[in-house]
């Protein structure tokens, strides 16, 4: 990292004039006195501010024109960390952690404020030493991406990697993942790896590891504890239950979505309680029925991205749907209003899609509840036009399942059969 990373113009001149570099500890007198570490700036930032990381972990921007005095406290120096080798405890179970990005398996460099991925078991043990008392953890980095950059091709790589460990000595597999698209990835793994013999847990962090309120370590500890004690299989998302640190929630991978942008308890199981709660290292089972119907592991790691998720709204231009059809899409998932409706101005284009043999499924924009297209005349009209109600499947889950189904067959009747078959608790009967 450059000693002036992200700084240019006036801000760069300010740092050079005061012989300050990124990573230096400083005391700054402005409206009040601030103490902290000079941080790098974003590439497209202005040149009027410097960024300081406070002891609380928060970053603030200080306008250089208002700085009265700056004093360097400590110069940044290259520190080579020595992580002690982790000796395996033969009495403990073994867990594999696959890293794809996010902050759950990362550490903070307090000289520069940079968050870097944990690459080895030694680094992980140094970052969260409590894990060594629960399990032996092996680590592998698949890639390092923000979750918004994880695409279906990444899902395939994750699934292919996990498949390699179907006959391993591991008690479970953790996938460290950014939170924004975590439920898309968990859905794909639920379908493509249905029947996988050991549990899979996707784990993320809403608060970065340099903040006092970080949930990273507790989420990871909860996941490891769950995987070592879980008697079944399946794909789960494991995150904080709420803003407190008392309970970690374990959600079925196809029945969960992120319902808050920043709260630690952002993930919620739709229509039910989380399948399990981890409280004081104890597992509380909330499962009322058997969730996973596929018993034999027969991986089908395929995908067809030519599937659209159409969120209907008043004023939706039917020509947009026509463009999807003309682009050769194999399936369309509607996110309709209420019980599963779209405006009658859409009907002529829907008729064209039906005639072209495109699978069309209906979900609801409502967070909870079931699609029922027989209640009103408009719903019955859409049924006659070939749209298939998808019960209480979450729209994003229906999108991923349709991609997976279309990757395994090009025949609409077979896609329909797959979409209506309960595979991994994607809908309840």
The predicted pLDDT at position 84 comes to 60
Q: Which member of 53, 107, 258, 401 is catalytic?
A: 258
The predicted pLDDT at position 245 comes to 85
Q: Would 94-285 and 307-420 be classified into the same CATH topology?
A: yes
d(CA 287, CA 272): 10
Q: Which member of 100, 112, 139, 179 is catalytic?
A: 179
Note the pLDDT tens digit of each residue in 38-96. Answer: 888 876 778 899 998 887 777 899 999 999 999 998 775 544 455 566 788 999 999 99
**Residues in the chain, pLDDT under 50:** 1, 78-80, 110-113
Domains of the chain by residue range: 9-74, 94-285, 307-420
d(CA 360, CA 12): 56
d(CA 190, CA 167): 18
Contact assessment for residue 234 and residue 252, using Cβ atoms and an 8 Å cutoff: yes
From 342, 351, 206, select the one nearest 267 (Cα to Cα). 206
d(CA 188, CA 191): 5
179 flagged as catalytic: yes
Contact assessment for residue 310 and residue 299, using Cβ atoms and an 8 Å cutoff: no
Q: Parallel, antiparallel, or unpaired: how do β-strands 49-53 and 59-63 relate?
A: antiparallel
Note the pLDDT tens digit of each residue in 318-347. Answer: 999 999 999 999 999 999 999 999 999 999
Structural element, H or E, at residue 240 = strand 235-240
Q: Which member of 100, 103, 181, 363 is catalytic?
A: 103
Q: Which member of 180, 272, 273, 381 is catalytic?
A: 180
Longest CA pairwise span in the chain (Å): 75
- CB atoms under 10 Å from CB of 79, counted, come to 9
Task: Give this prediction's pTM.
Answer: 0.85
Fold of 9-74: SH3 type barrels. (2.30.30)
The predicted pLDDT at position 168 comes to 95
Q: Does domain 94-285 have CATH number 3.40.50.620?
A: no
180 flagged as catalytic: yes
Return the CATH class of domain 307-420: alpha beta
């Amino acid at each position: 990292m450059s000693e002036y990373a992200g700084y240019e113009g006036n801000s760069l001149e300010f740092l050079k004039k005061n012989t300050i570099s990124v990573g230096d500890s400083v005391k700054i007198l402005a409206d009040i006195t601030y103490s902290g570490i000079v941080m790098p700036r974003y590439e497209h930032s202005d040149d009027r501010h410097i960024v300081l990381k406070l002891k609380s972990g928060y970053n603030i921007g200080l306008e250089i024109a208002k700085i009265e005095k700056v004093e360097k406290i400590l110069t940044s120096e290259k520190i080579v960390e020595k992580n002690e080798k982790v000796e395996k405890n033969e009495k403990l179970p073994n867990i594999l952690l696959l890293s794809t990005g996010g902050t759950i398996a990362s550490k903070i460099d307090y000289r520069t404020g940079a968050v870097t991925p944990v690459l080895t078991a030694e680094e992980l043990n140094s970052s969260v030493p409590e894990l060594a008392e629960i399990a032996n953890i092996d680590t592998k980095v698949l890639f390092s991406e923000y979750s918004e950059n994880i695409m279906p091709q990444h899902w395939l790589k994750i699934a292919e990697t996990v498949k390699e460990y179907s006959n391993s000595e591991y008690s479970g597999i953790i996938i460290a993942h950014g939170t924004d698209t975590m439920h898309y990835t968990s859905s794909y793994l639920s379908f493509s790896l249905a029947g996988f013999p050991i549990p899979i847990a996707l784990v993320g962090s809403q608060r970065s590891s340099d903040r006092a309120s970080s949930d990273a370590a507790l989420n990871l500890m909860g996941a490891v504890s769950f995987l070592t004690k879980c008697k079944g299989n399946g794909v789960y998302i494991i995150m904080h239950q709420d803003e407190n640190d008392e309970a970690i929630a374990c959600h079925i991978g196809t029945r969960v979505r992120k319902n808050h942008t920043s709260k630690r308890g952002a993930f919620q199981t739709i229509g039910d309680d989380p399948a399990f709660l981890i409280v004081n290292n104890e597992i509380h089972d909330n499962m009322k029925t058997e969730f996973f119907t596929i018993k034999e592991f027969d991986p089908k790691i395929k995908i067809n991205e030519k599937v659209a998720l159409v969120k209907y709204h008043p004023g939706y231009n039917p020509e947009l749907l026509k463009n999807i059809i003309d682009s050769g899409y194999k399936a369309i998932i509607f996110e309709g209003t209420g019980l599963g409706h779209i405006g009658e101005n859409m009907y002529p284009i829907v008729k064209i899609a039906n005639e072209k043999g495109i699978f069309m499924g209906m979900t609801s924009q409502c967070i909870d509840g079931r699609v029922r297209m027989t209640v009103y005349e408009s719903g019955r009209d859409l049924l006659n036009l070939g749209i298939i109600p998808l019960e209480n499947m979450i729209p994003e889950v229906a999108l991923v399942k349709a991609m997976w189904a279309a990757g395994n067959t090009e025949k609409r009747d077979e896609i329909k059969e797959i979409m209506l078959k309960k595979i991994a608790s994607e809908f309840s009967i």
